Structure 1
Amino acid sequence: MELNQVAVPAVYALISFLGYPSQILLSYLDPGPLTKNELILSNTALVLIYITYTKSVFVDPGRIPKGWEKKDGEEPRKMNGNGEKKGGQSRKWCRKCDAPKPPRTHHCKECKRCIPKMDHHCPWTANCVSHTTFPHFLRFLFYATCGLSLLAYFLWIRISTLWANRNLPAYLGPSPWLVAHLFIATVANSITLFALGVLFIRNIWCLAVNTTTIEGWEIERHRTLVRRARHFGGWLDGPDGAKVRIEKQEFPYDIGIWKNIKQGMGTGNPLSWFNPFAPTPTLSTGLSFETNGFDDPSLSWPPPDPDRSYRRFPQSSSNGAEGFTYSEANLSSEETIAAFRERQAADAVRRRKPFLQRVETKLAQERRNPFQDELEYGSGDEEEYEGGGKSGEGSQSGEEGWRNSEGERLKDFGVDEEVEFYDEQEDDVPLGELLARKREAASAYQ
């Protein structure tokens, strides 16, 4: 049984355990049962937690409509009616969905589709935190943190009273079952409060600066590439010996705290931010986003990454095998086509050695150059490589196995890493789609 099949019932059970039995427990411990106002406050918080969590689970994270780039009706980086710079048509293409991707969209391996403004796929809601579900998810974190903090306060009063009366005879105190229940409730509440509190603070920060969890990973990745490129005159090696210029690029979607909050919560009304029945943001507002204009409008996000590039030229055989050997004579026509597509998909990605291995090899080859003696990799300015360190280990090899400072990879956020990491190139649109766009553009001028 997979985690996503039991996670949601387990969370509902945890909410119920910390909500209702705890109220019964508190009524048997000194200094006495909860007051009427405390009961009203506790049960109100409990109802709000149930509502917001249910919405986080069952609200559709969104899907990209077909022909969205035509309905949007905007050219890339064009000004809208309010004078705001918008990211209109995307130049990125999802090979899994066989469709263009709007800005800030990622392909989720769990939902099996592209999700607008995907933050991450949350296993505890079995749903994506996205443009449409983020406000509900944030409200759930807020009310859960408040409710757990309130319960922690009530438990602390009972624990303090119990400790103050520790010298009294045992028969005057609570039974062992009540003490065990108190201990279990305190531990469960403390761990849950800590985890959700940290997650709530992190999401508040993401809301304030208008980033998603995935985009935070991309920002750190870009900073890593900039630091690496600084050692090589601003250039890094791409596939097939190509050189890629790496320049510092600012995150384009941070447009100011107030606008960031309005965009993330779907409204500028502070009362709606706390309303558990607030409407879900419309999908149309998640297909294009205002930018801050700090960099050239022609630049896209994420910035160029040499390890996200496709192999441009076929590799010659080095194992002495004969070329053009047909070894699938026994396959049916359907199996032959399927085998060809598997080879085509596998060939689209070039497995590269980790950056550390590539640099060390290059330094070994250039050791005769006295100027290279000053370049010592591993001085603390570069990033570590996680994921094996040996070539030929599938998705664990090369820079697609890169981890951020917290040890996270794209796949840890629910992203289909095998597809997404290599779909961020702006020139991967199929030829048929390019020809169709060219015909549409030509007809528009007629």
Structure 2
Amino acid sequence: MELSALAVPSVYGLISFLAYSSQWLLLYLDPEPISKKQLIRFNVLLVCLLITYTRAVIVDPGRIPRSPEKEEDNIDGKDSGKGRKRWCRKCKATKPPRSHHCKECKRCIPKMDHHCPWTSNCVSHTTFPHFFRFLFYATTSMIYLFSLLWPRIKFVWDDRNLPSYLGPSIFQLAHLFMLTLANFFALFAVGILFVRNVWCLAVNTTTIEGWEIERHKTLVRRARYFGGYLDGPDGIQVRIQKQEFPYDIGFWKNFKQGMGTGNILSWFSPFSTTPSIQSSLTFETNDFEDPSVTWPPPDPDRMNRRVPHGIDRESEAFTYRDAELTPEDTIAAFRQRQEDDIVRRRKPFVQRLEAKVVRGEGSLGDEDEDEGVDRLDELGEVEVGEGAEGTGGGDGQREGEESWRNSEGERLRDFGVDEDIEFYDEEDDVPLSELLARKKARARARA
């Protein structure tokens, strides 16, 4: 059994330990037993906590509609009908704005925030309100529990010089210590996560989009030193311009969109309805950018090579290497080569820049050697660390630009995203059958 299967039972176990064992202990500790009103308040918070956590676990994170007609009606909407579209080759469907392919759920998730290991579920457009309410009630419940524990802790400390038989037993002291310690660390972790989600809700960003914003700032900073262009596959030059995040539409609208309703009371109700999938296919934008500009911004390291491997190398071009294979093995080898060609990893930016400087094709400026090294570190940022120079899994291969990490050392895969799909999901990969289906759907819509 995988350890991830124990995550949800562990959370229920921690809630039960903090909530129920504390109520039993508070009946026997001085200066006075817990009152009936305090018990009622605490248990109301506990019921809300259990309901919201259960819904965060069991509510489906959503599925993207597969029907071409629905995709044409919904995806070609306010912000996705123009500019670059994305195609998921695993789901074999168009990816709406803000959706990502989850490697755990094995499908594209609408407005995916991250895959939470503690709920064994994706935090998405449909589950975020339940997840947010869970964080709220967890934080509130632990603060209230601390307010109940603190007078007892202070009383024990004030009477520490009295004979031991006048105070609580060793078991009660150990229980009180464990409760306080567990409540403190859980409150610290959940409290930080809750504050972070309040901020994300206020500015209408997901955790993944926060990573994308930081990635875009990195590319803009790099391009500034090279006249606004960065090298893409096969030596093409990609224009990098500063782009504003399009989905921050104002404080109030952000909260309404994230929580699925403008009713403030519903934001805190454990029984609030789940947002519909249809509301996750298009999103209002702030119109700071041209309508043809889409998010995420262009990234040279997400682009496929236009020249197939082997054409530029005479030793490998037009070579048939499967003569001794069976028909089944030949087909399997062909499909494997297709997969290998889809994802062509490039060296990290720092290594490419160093090679370019060594070849005399570029420079870091006229500053002295030490300042040049600092400039190189600035352009490469965290890629000079574990993400760029470590090994890819256990195969000993160096990781490419997909291993870029943000300032907190996180990669896309740390949020549950399938990196191979996420980095190579351009419209160029859409099959001809899908394009024909879209054409027919548009024709029917005009008729």
Establish whether TM, by shorter chain, passes 0.5: yes
Q: State the match for 1:376 in structure 2.
A: 372
Helix, strand or coil: the match of 2:374? coil
Query: Quick check: 1:327 aligned with 2:322?
Result: yes
In structure 1, give the amino acid aligned to 2:401: E
C-alpha separation in 1, matches of 2:292 and 2:212: 19
User: CA offsets per residue over residues 326-359 of structure 1, 9 Å max, x none?
Assistant: 33634343x4323221211111122211111111
For residues 129-188 of structure 1, give each alpha carbon's deviation from its aligned partner in whole angstroms, at most 9, with x where no partner exists. 000000000000000000011111211211111110011011111111111111111111
When residues 326 and 223 of structure 1 are mapped into structure 2, their CA distance, relative to the original with a 3 A threshold, is same
Partners of 2:71 and 2:353 in 1: CA distance: 47
Alignment partner of 1:296 is 2:294: no
Code of the aligned partner of 1:434: L
For residue 235 of structure 1, report the CA deviation from its aligned partner: 0.3
1:24 maps to 24
Kindly report which structure 2 residues correspond to 1:10-89, keeping only aligned pairs within 5 A, or say none: 10-67=10-67, 70=70, 73=73, 76=76, 78=78, 86-88=79-81
SS class of match (1:427): helix
Which residues of 2 match residues 112-261 of structure 1 at below 5 A?
Answer: 112-261=106-255
Judge conservation of contact 1:239–1:350 (CA < 8 Å) in 2: no
- Going from structure 1 to structure 2, the CA distance change for 1:56 and 1:228 (only over 3 Å counts) comes to same
Q: 1:445: how far off? A: 5.8
Is residue 432 from structure 1 mapped to residue 433 from structure 2 by the alignment? yes
Q: Distance in 2 between matches of 1:102 and 1:268?
A: 24
In 1, the alpha carbon distance for the partners of 2:197 and 2:396 equals 33
**How has the CA–CA distance of structure 1 residues 133 and 328 changed in structure 2, closer, same or farther, with 3 Å as cutoff?**
farther
- Please name the residue that 1:412 is paired with: 414
Q: Distance in 2 between matches of 1:359 and 1:405?
A: 20
How far does residue 369 in structure 1 lie from its aligned partner after superposition? Answer: 7.3
Partner Cα distance (2:194, 2:102) in 1? 22
Q: Secondary structure at the match of 2:389?
A: coil
- Judged with a 3 Å threshold, the aligned counterparts in structure 2 of structure 1 residues 103 and 368 are, in CA distance, closer, same or farther, namely closer
Is this contact kept in 2: 1:307–1:399, CA < 8 A?
yes
SS at match of 1:403: coil
Deviates more, 1:335-344 or 1:166-175: 335-344
Residues 388, 400 of structure 2: 8 Å contact kept: no
**CA 1:369–1:59: 2 relative to 1, 3 Å:** closer
Q: AA paired with 1:315?
A: H
Indicate the SS of the match to 2:115: strand
Cα deviation for residue 394 of structure 1 reads 7.4
Deviation readout 1:4-53 (Å, 9 max, x if unpaired): 21111111111111110111111221112111110001111111111000
Match of 1:400 among 395, 399, 402: 402
What amino acid is aligned across from residue 50 of structure 2 in structure 1? Y
How many residue pairs match? The answer is 437
Report the residue type matching 1:329 in the other structure.
Answer: E
TM-score norm. by structure 2 comes to: 0.91
Aligned partner letter, 2:421: V
Against the structure 1 CA distance between its residues 300 and 255, is the aligned structure 2 distance closer, same or farther, given a 3 Å change threshold? same
Give the distance between the partners of 2:397 and 2:247, measured in 1 at CA: 30
Shift of residue 113, structure 1, vs aligned partner: 0.5
Which letter maps to 2:35?
T
Point out where structure 1 has 5 or more consecutive residues left out of the alignment: 79-85
Q: 2:49·2:134 contact (CA, 8 Å) conserved in 1? A: yes
Q: Root-mean-square deviation (CA), in Å?
A: 2.4
The normalised TM-score by structure 1 is 0.92
Structure 1 residue matching 2:178: 3-state secondary structure:
helix
SS at the partner of 2:15?
Answer: helix
Cα distance, 1:71–1:360 mapped onto 2, change above 3 Å:
closer
Is structure 2 residue 302 aligned with structure 1 residue 308? yes
Q: CA deviation at 1:2?
A: 1.6
How far residue 232 of structure 1 moved from its aligned partner, in angstroms, is: 0.3
